[in-house]
Each structure stands twice: as C-alpha cells, then as structure tokens.
Amino acid sequence: MFSYKICYCFTRKFKVTEAEPPSDVKEIFKKYSGDGVHMTSDQFRKFLEEDDQGGGAHEVSLSDAESLMEQIISKRHHLAKLIHRKTLSLEDFHHFLFSTDLNPPIRSQVHQDMNAPLSHYFIYTGHNSYLTGNQLSSNCSEVPIIKALKRGVRVIELDLWPNSSKDNVHVLHGWTFTKPVELLGCLKAIKENAFIASDYPVIITFEDHLTSDLQAKVAQMVTETFGEMLFCPESEKLEELPTPESLKHRILISTKPPKEFLEAADDKRSSLQKSQVSDVDDDAWSDDRSFKSGSDGSDRDLETEDLLKAKISPSSPVYKKLIAIHAGKPKGGLKDALKVEKHKVRRLSLAEQGLERAVENHGQDVLRFTQKNILRIYPKGTRITSSNYKPLTAWLHGAQMVAFNMQGYGKSLWLMHGMFRANGGCGYVKKPDFLMKCGPENEVFSPKAKLPAKKTLKVKIYMGDGWHLDFKRTHFDKYSPPDFYTRVAIDGASVDKKRERTKNKDDNWTPVWNEEFKFPLSVPELALLRIEVRDSNIPEKDRFAGQICLPVSELRPGIRAIPLCNRKGDPYSSARLLVRFEFI
C-alpha cells in the first residue's frame, strides 16, 4: 500500500493597498477646514502660515495658496481644469503633504550670506575627479567630472603628468594602471558644465608633475579654454580670500607655485638622503601623493622619487600668475605648517590619517588655521576601491575641502551628499559662527568638549510609499510583499550620535509605522539626519530599500515628504516617506 504526501504551496498576493492619511494629518485638516470635508484656499493659506509648513512664521498670499492648490488638484485629478475645483479634500491635502516636489523637507534656494571669504565655507570637493572607478586600474575620463559638476561639486582635482613623448599633458592617477585622458578635454568639460547646478565658483586643484615647458602649455590651455571666466588675482599673494558672491561664474586654479614645488623636492631629497629612504612618513602636511611598497618593504613616496629623477627647469611665470589659491607648506613640521601668516592665505593638504594625527596633537591649531586659510583633506592611498572616510572630524575642525571619491558609494558619501544639500545645493555651506571665533585667551571650539544639548529634534516616521512603482514585485521577496523597517540616525559631534529604528511592517508595500524618536543635539549646526529603509529578510541579509541624508539645520518643521535615493545617491522616482520634524 502506498502513501502519498501532497504539498500545497501558497503564495501571498502582491496586492498594493493605499494607506489612509495618518491621524495627525486628519486632525490638522479638520482644524483648518472647519467641517473636516473641504479646505478653502484661505484656510489652506492659514495652514501654510501657521503650521510651520513654510519653515517658520511668514506671510503667504492668497494668490500663492491658490496657485499651489491648483498644482495639487491638477496632479490628482486629470479633469481638474474642466471641473474647476476650488477646495481641497482630505485626500488632496494628504497628497500635498506626501509630495516631494510640493512639500520637500528642506529649502531649495540659496539663503546663507555669500559675502564672506572662501575660508568661511565648507566647499563640495572631489578627489581624483577624473576616475571612473577604482584607484588602480579604472579609466580616466571627462564623464565623472561632468557628473560631479552636475551634482553641485565645486572643487575638481586633476593630476597632471607628461605624456609618453613629453610634449603634451595627460590626466591620470600616477604610478597606477589607470588609462589617461587629455587635459584639454577635461578643461572643456569643466567649462561646459561648471555652472549647471550652481552659479558659485569652481576651483580646480592641480597635482602637478610637469616640467616648466609643460606648465607653460597648461597655462595656455587654461587661458584659452576659460577666457574671462578665469579668476587671476591682482596680487601674487592674497591677504584674504575673495567671496563666493564676488566669484560667481568664475574658475579658480589652486596648486603649488613652481618655486615651492622645486623647494619641496629639495627638502624631500635631503630628508631621504638622511634617512636612506628607510622610513618615509606619510608627510601629513604635503599635497596628494601615491604610495607603493619598495623592494625593501618600506613605503616610498613616489612623487618624491619622480622629482629626484627628473630634471625640472626653472618655473614658468605665466603659469604661476594663474594660481588663485597657493598650495604648499612652510619649512618645518606640522605645527609650523599650521601657523597662520598675517599677510598671506594658502591651502594646505592633509591625508585622512594626517588629519587624525593633527587633531590629536594640534587640534586648536588646526581650527585656527581654517579660520583664515583653506585646509584640504584627502583619502589615504590604501583606499584603492575608491572608498571614503568619515567627514565629520574634518568639518568639526573647520576643514573646507573634504575631498571625496564621488564614485565611492557608501554611507560616508551619503553624509557628504547630505551636507551639501544645504544652502540650496549650491556647493558652498557657511561654517557655523563658533568655528570662526576665538575666545579672550585665543581659545577655539573643541569638538571633544562635553556640551549641553541646545535643542532636541523629534522625528516621527508615519509611513512610506512608492516602492511598488520603482521595483519589480519580486525584488524584495519572491513570494510575498516586503517587510520594511526604517533606521533613523544622527551623525555629527560624538556627543550627538544616536541610532534608532522602527519595528518591521510585514507584507506591505505601503508600510505605516507611526513611530517617534527624540534626538538631543549639542551641536545641531553640524548634525546630519540619516534615514535608511530596509526589507527585513531573516535569515539572509536585509535588503536595501532607500536612503536619504539631510542637514538638521535646514529641516523645515512640520509634516514633510522625504524622497529616497539609491545607493549611489540618485533619487528614486516614487519611493518616499512621510515624516514630521519638530524642534523642542
């Protein structure tokens, strides 16, 4: 006799249901509409004025309210023009609150004072801006430069090397297998795309490995390509940097003047001879350079080796005149390099590990230096996959140019994106006043100090929607809808760091959480709110479902629609969250 076992496989339906408005939305609608059924244009105007939906108390004209109502109705009702609706329903109101276009979490306009010297701003900065992928073997191209500029990046780095015949200039990551691109193509790409995302100045930093003849050729290329867009200082050494406002639609060059470049080679030659090249330091105060292990197992500074072998001609005066922001270091150690010179401003570069040593041993000097001069931080040479470091330490010490691999996707880059969503995404963010002040004993802000909380940010995660439009139904789970949860975190000063998360909402494309979190903030000016949605997938790894990072200082109080982005930082078409922000 045979026995049969019959397995029945059940699959859950992938039905998407529209979640109703949260109770908070219903209460607000009832409060302003009166009857809880229809909201007139004047009632809508009062809501916009009084409920912090404009980011603070301000006047809203009736015509502006009516215009916004028309946009809301036309988005929801295709026949709106025919039926001439003059009021909003609860569903219309909810749709408005949940629209990332009509109700974004931060302002889209430049609103900060742009008339201070460049040293008073954090500046959106790229590292090895020409690389399409990793630091060792990827192609060099104008394409990543164009992408960076369109995202709002304001500092582009180009590494300049002679071509094989020594008669032209290539851009590539030296001493690697990266395929070069011609400098002229990069310059033209910068000119054509510099001011698409922002009107404010673009700074090109050169890492220069050229002879005097090729420097003269670079000067000709730069002058002919940019013409009147190029900013050339009247004085060889600026006592104070110009302002972003005065430099709108201008291009600036920043590099070592040729004379200092040769002196640096002489200094390093002497240093290497004394040490017999047995223990070469990272040279924390030097400009960018690549490192490779020598035959004896030691780290050799390849830029220095190149200089020791090359016969470099006297400097090019034409090239030198193009340099708006001089890079380089005084003779001596790191403490000397951080000295503030009364009648001179300059740019200093530190590798990320050099910054760590600097803030540990000379933290106050670092901050004083950045009040007048430019400090540029760049990734260490071992980040061959184009990964990035955490930027907060640099920002908390006033570093203006925190250089990132823009192709190096991950949480660190999300923080960079978040910082520069501020101030209308123009690529320049005014540093907080406390980073620019000295006390009666010349003391400055200390990021390590235990400071009391200035305010508390309340974040209420209501619900999410739109994933069913951006992803295939089986993207998260082959047999059922996703089980979404949301992580909410603050990144900033160490005292402010905190992580929270919602519960899982099983089998739902439109999850409703209605969970609130509180974040006490001691340094809210430099705090970043990071939100990430994931699909719980036990026992496998949870699946990514979107992220966004926002500057806390820019958050508009009230109920806001939060757009979600993919891992690269590009926004999804539809996935979004409904969130309320409140400061207490």
Amino acid at 386: S
Which pLDDT score, from 0 to 100, does residue 262 have?
Answer: 52
Catalytic residue among 95, 127, 209, 417: 127
Which pLDDT score, from 0 to 100, does residue 78 have?
Answer: 63
* 173 catalytically annotated: yes
H or E segment at 97?
A: helix 90-97
Which pLDDT score, from 0 to 100, does residue 17 have?
Answer: 75
User: In degrees, to the nearest 5, what angle opens at C-alpha 361 toward C-alphas 358 and 366?
Assistant: 45
In the chain, what are the domain boundaries? Answer: 23-97, 118-435, 455-583
Which pLDDT score, from 0 to 100, does residue 560 have?
Answer: 97
For the chain, residues with pLDDT lower than 50 are 1-12, 54-55, 80, 82, 272-305, 307-313, 315
* 77 catalytically annotated: no
Token pair, residue 199, equals 């009107």
Which pLDDT score, from 0 to 100, does residue 83 have?
Answer: 54
Position of tokens 């990332």? 100
Q: What is the CATH number of domain 455-583?
A: 2.60.40.150
Which pLDDT score, from 0 to 100, does residue 368 have?
Answer: 96
Q: What is the end-to-end Cα distance of the chain in Å, rounded?
A: 75
Token pair, residue 309, equals 């072998």
DSSP line for 549-566: EEEGGGPPSEEEEEEEE-
Q: Provide the 3-class DSSP secondary structure of residue 386.
A: coil
Contact of 472 with 582, CB cutoff 8 Å:
no
Sign of CA dihedral 122, 123, 126, 127: negative
**Domain spanning 118-435: CATH 3.20.20.190:** yes
CA distances from 195 to 147, 154, 198, 227 (A): 12, 9, 5, 15
Closest by alpha carbon to 29, among 90, 76, 96, 87? 90
Which pLDDT score, from 0 to 100, does residue 270 have?
Answer: 56
Catalytic residue among 94, 120, 170, 173: 173
**Domain spanning 23-97: CATH 1.10.238.10:** yes
Quick one: how far is CA 238 from the chain centroid? 28
Token pair, residue 231, equals 């900013």
Which pLDDT score, from 0 to 100, does residue 261 have?
Answer: 55
